[in-house]
Structure 1
Amino acid sequence: MNKTIMQFFEWNLPTDGGHWNFLKDHSKALSDVGINTLWLPPAYKGAGGSNDTGYGIYDLYDLGEFDQKGSVRTKYGTKDEYIDAIYEAHKNNIEVLADIVLNHKGGADDTEWVKVVKVDPNDRNNKISDEYDIKAWTKFTFPERNNKYSDFKWNWKHFDGVDWDENKKESAIFEFIGLGKAWDTAVDSENGNYDYLMLTDIDVSSSVVYDELLKWALWYVKIAQLDGFRLDALKHIGFEFFAKLINDIRNITNKELFTVGEYWDNDVNILKKYVENTSHIFNVFDVPLHYNFLTATNQKENYDLRGLMSNTLISCYPENSVTFVDNHDTQPGQSLESWIDNSFKLQAYTFILTRKEGIPCVFFGDYYGMPSNSIAPLKDDLDNLLKARRDFAYGWQHDYFDDAHIVGWTREKGLAALISNVNDGGSKKMFVGEKLSDKSFVDITGNVSGEVIIDEDGNGDFTVNGNSYSVWCIIKKD
């Protein structure tokens, strides 16, 4: 079966601790429509306790087990509920990807004096002060966990920088001095050097830090029976770190551990370089494709649909691409807001779910809706597309990118898809294979009625409505 991922969260989920149970209750239904991989939110305790979405990492070993940061459970539930939900997913033939956040930590237990230099936030290579001492929140001792699973205690030697001086109550970017410390060089060049993102920046070049994070990752894979990872904030971490970490984890566990990383950049050449530098060992989200969808959304009928694949990762490294329409960062109100609205949302999903390039990832907020953003669910529409992918999106692909406003493609298992971005619909004669001659196709989306009969040469005349999408599939005979 085609690999199909769902990002199983959005930013503004309720903080009632019910999410792991929601997953447990919905695993079978998701499996039934063809979802076979779930990317779950960060499951460990954040600095915000039960209100933390998961990216303000406090304790990687606390999966909702210890009374830390004001609660035992995380935003999503308890450790036992998490493990039970993964068990249920596995029972329904769904693999689970854990969200791995190793760029920073937050919510330290104590401060210590650290020698620093202040840097220009717009050019982190530019030092704008002499060396001096600040009081930094860098001591992580996890007293409530009391050394269970690990007795490792974090201190300033394990970090590169912070953004707060408790002594002067000053917010700035402070780079640590001493022990040969410096920003990682193999990171994104935005802001001169984009090693520092937020909170207390982990020094991944430290062998002591690496050994502890490898030990933690092996513990995590075993205790949660993980099937893979989603890696956060790749552009802020030297590429060598994750290349080595993922290889080491795979070699030690002898598990395939499918992995996809988030490198947020619209320049496909930067993503290509990252894939090459990491020797193609894991996938990367196709951010440029997302922005092509956004441009199509904003420009409407002025957008040339033949350019959807231009300068995308799927156009050069499809085997290393994970495609998506939106996610928790692009949803309204978030840091990378770039929302694909309903004028093009389902055309975009038709594109990623029925084509051969890349592995598609469906966003929880699209599927189940987002009440906090007054966004209605598209579950019924997406179920139709997911079923088309599950049953028919196989075999040779034939492209018909011969018109600026209606493009189509076919798959020889028995699928013909079209999308349009103008008020007038239209038809295309498309080849689905001579072996399907005399077979009948119907539009699984329900947008166009009737049947299409394939001629003796393997062609059919397939229709799409204006500003719409259609996925014609062969009628299954009982």
Structure 2
Amino acid sequence: METNGVILQYFEWYYPADGTLWNKLADEAEHLPALGITAVWVPSACKGAEGAKSRGYDIYDHYDLGEFNQKDTVRTKYGTKEQYLNMIKKLHENGIQVYADIVLNHLAGADENEKVWVKKMDPETNVDPISEPIQIEASTRFTYPGRGGKYSDFVWDYHCFSGVGYAADLQEKGVFKIQNEYDTKWEEVIGNDKANYDFLMLSDIEYRNPVVREEMKQWGKWYYETAGFDGVRLDALKHITPDFPPEWLDFMRENFKSDLFAVGEYWTDKKLDQLEKYIKATQGKIHMFDVPLHYNLSVASKCNQEYNLSTIFDNSLVSTQPSLAVTFVENHDTQPIQSLESGVEPWFKPLAYALILLRKEGYPCVFYADFYGTSYEDKGKDGKYHKIEMPKIKELPKLLVIRKHYAYGDQKDYFDNSNCIGWVREGNDEHPGCVVILSNGENSEKNMEVGKQHSGKHYVDFLQNVNEEVIIDENGTGTFPVNKKSVSVWVLKEN
């Protein structure tokens, strides 16, 4: 039987550093399938430079999943290796796939510094030298004494990195291009926000070094054989040469799991062409997060009825490459006070989730903070601390149930009004279909055709935002209402 897939991003940036996440997810594994969750994206499980406080993206040791006493801790922010593997086992027992977060761009927290020849670069371009070659102390030697060579005896040194973001002896931050044997220039990448955007932060991995490529493949082998994940989320692809991730995926798919799922983070602001160039360069081997659609949703939520809802999918990946688009409303990078803050206003989130969950195109990803709610305090760009509340979206569980049980079949769009749009999912042999209507303005209604086979039948709003019933006329058409700045999802009334 056909089942609509949904990813749940099971973390947010400010989740407490108390080692509970893996156990929390294991405990909830049996409850998630009823809501239609078919896959969970979990954060980077590897030991980070900040130890138990690290969110996993300042990655220190790929082989430490919370097993070794490194960076003053055995566990990671999220728990121990044993808890991590138990969580995966529980999810698999309940038919839920696990997508592991993979950080291939950089390392952090080196065990030793090395004398390295570099050129300091203009940070606005990354390519214009603002110094002659100088020798600095760089954090580029990773020996992992706490692991003692278990699983891998590979030692990272400056030959494995193309640049660093800090000169330890000078106590100076910057962009320092290592003058190594592979090239005095950065690797070629697609992102054009700067003249070259290979360098992002920390110790940038050099993929022109063949031993680095081989080590990352061997780590992928070890990781899969250890954890048995079903897919991967690839971090910071904009800053990695586009030829290595598909090579790594080919290796993984050919040797271990032929249907290994992959979705990439490539943050493009509103530049759809960058995503499409990356898809072409990687031969369509990687799904991509639909960042342009996220920005459309964010802008729509702030513009209220001034936004033309009929254009909501313009310039989105789901409109041009629907089979490769992973759609989302928010994630850990967009939540308030984060560097890419671009939130969707709470009033619009039920509409936004209807737009990604109840349509035929795209593979939707639900954000932890929208699912559970969260609150936190952090320093903003103004230097002051702010207390942030992100309420859980009360309509979200019902929207997920509608996706699981109703949102199937052909799709007929009614995008003929700037403030009120709708569509019909016609259903199939196993699922009855539904009618969706959204308004970003006043109370509204729309005539939509569900088919003559439903003449005389009654439809009700599954979300219970509208109480009256809709009766389908002899032509198979109904007049479906929606409240102002709201969404209603109409389904056949059960006898």
For residues 443 and 217 of structure 1, the distance between their equivalents in structure 2, rounded to whole angstroms, comes to: 47
Deviation at 1:311? Answer: 0.6
Deviation at 1:180? Answer: 2.3
Deviation at 1:454? Answer: 2.5
1:198 is aligned with what amino acid? M
Q: What residue is the counterpart of 2:380 in the other structure?
A: none
Deviation at 1:434? Answer: 3.3
How does 1:38-437 map onto structure 2 within 5 Å? 38-181=40-183, 182-265=185-268, 266-372=270-376, 374-378=388-392, 380-413=394-427, 414-422=433-441, 424-437=442-455
How does 1:10-49 map onto structure 2 within 5 Å? 10-49=12-51
Secondary structure (helix, strand or coil) at the match of 2:221 reads: helix
Q: Is the Cα–Cα contact under 8 Å of residues 190 and 274 in structure 2 kept in the other structure?
A: no
For residues 49 and 470 of structure 1, the distance between their equivalents in structure 2, rounded to whole angstroms, comes to: 46
Render the CA deviation track for 1:356-398: whole Å, top value 9, x for unaligned.
1111100001111112154354354100000000011110000
For residues 58 and 230 of structure 1, the distance between their equivalents in structure 2, rounded to whole angstroms, comes to: 18
1:410 is aligned with what amino acid? V
Tell me if 1:466 matches 2:484: yes
For residues 131 and 477 of structure 2, the distance between their equivalents in structure 1, rounded to whole angstroms, comes to: 71
CA shift in 2, pair 1:391/1:200, >3 Å: same
Deviation at 1:476? Answer: 4.3
Deviation at 1:461? Answer: 1.4
Consecutive unaligned residues of structure 2, counting only runs of 5 or more, are 377-386, 428-432
Segment of structure 1 superposing worse, 392-401 or 369-378? 369-378
Secondary structure (helix, strand or coil) at the match of 1:124 reads: coil
For residues 454 and 150 of structure 1, the distance between their equivalents in structure 2, rounded to whole angstroms, comes to: 66
Consecutive unaligned residues of structure 1, counting only runs of 5 or more, are none
Deviation at 1:279? Answer: 1.1
Q: What residue is the counterpart of 2:469 in the other structure?
A: 451
1:393 is aligned with what amino acid? A
Q: Is the Cα–Cα contact under 8 Å of residues 416 and 472 in structure 1 kept in the other structure?
A: yes
Deviation at 1:332? Answer: 0.5
Secondary structure (helix, strand or coil) at the match of 1:300 reads: helix
For residues 99 and 476 of structure 1, the distance between their equivalents in structure 2, rounded to whole angstroms, comes to: 42
Secondary structure (helix, strand or coil) at the match of 2:318 reads: coil
Deviation at 1:409? Answer: 0.6
Secondary structure (helix, strand or coil) at the match of 2:98 reads: strand
1:10 is aligned with what amino acid? E
Deviation at 1:457? Answer: 2.9
For residues 402 and 481 of structure 2, the distance between their equivalents in structure 1, rounded to whole angstroms, comes to: 17
For residues 409 and 123 of structure 1, the distance between their equivalents in structure 2, rounded to whole angstroms, comes to: 45
Q: Is the Cα–Cα contact under 8 Å of residues 7 and 37 in structure 2 kept in the other structure?
A: yes
Q: Is the Cα–Cα contact under 8 Å of residues 243 and 278 in structure 1 kept in the other structure?
A: yes
1:381 is aligned with what amino acid? E
Render the CA deviation track for 1:401-442: whole Å, top value 9, x for unaligned.
0000000011001211111111x2111111223333333321
CA shift in 2, pair 1:436/1:197, >3 Å: same
For residues 33 and 394 of structure 2, the distance between their equivalents in structure 1, rounded to whole angstroms, comes to: 15
2:451 is aligned with what amino acid? G
Q: Is the Cα–Cα contact under 8 Å of residues 205 and 241 in structure 1 kept in the other structure?
A: no
Q: What residue is the counterpart of 2:379 in the other structure?
A: none
1:65 is aligned with what amino acid? E
For residues 60 and 438 of structure 1, the distance between their equivalents in structure 2, rounded to whole angstroms, comes to: 61
Q: Is the Cα–Cα contact under 8 Å of residues 368 and 376 in structure 1 kept in the other structure?
A: no
1:463 is aligned with what amino acid? P
2:439 is aligned with what amino acid? S
For residues 62 and 108 of structure 2, the distance between their equivalents in structure 1, rounded to whole angstroms, comes to: 11
Q: Is the Cα–Cα contact under 8 Å of residues 408 and 419 in structure 1 kept in the other structure?
A: yes
Segment of structure 1 superposing worse, 206-215 or 187-196? 187-196
Secondary structure (helix, strand or coil) at the match of 1:190 reads: coil
Structure 1 residue runs of 4+, over 4 Å off?
Answer: none
For residues 456 and 359 of structure 1, the distance between their equivalents in structure 2, rounded to whole angstroms, comes to: 36
Render the CA deviation track for 1:22-63: whole Å, top value 9, x for unaligned.
001111221110000100000010001000111000000000
CA shift in 2, pair 1:432/1:194, >3 Å: same
For residues 454 and 256 of structure 2, the distance between their equivalents in structure 1, rounded to whole angstroms, comes to: 45
2:272 is aligned with what amino acid? V
The aligned length equals: 476
For residues 343 and 469 of structure 1, the distance between their equivalents in structure 2, rounded to whole angstroms, comes to: 10
For residues 115 and 406 of structure 2, the distance between their equivalents in structure 1, rounded to whole angstroms, comes to: 62
For residues 150 and 42 of structure 1, the distance between their equivalents in structure 2, rounded to whole angstroms, comes to: 19
CA shift in 2, pair 1:206/1:434, >3 Å: farther
Q: What residue is the counterpart of 2:381 in the other structure?
A: none
For residues 106 and 36 of structure 1, the distance between their equivalents in structure 2, rounded to whole angstroms, comes to: 33
1:395 is aligned with what amino acid? G
Render the CA deviation track for 1:164-210: whole Å, top value 9, x for unaligned.
11122121110010302331112312121110001000012221111
Tell me if 1:5 matches 2:7: yes
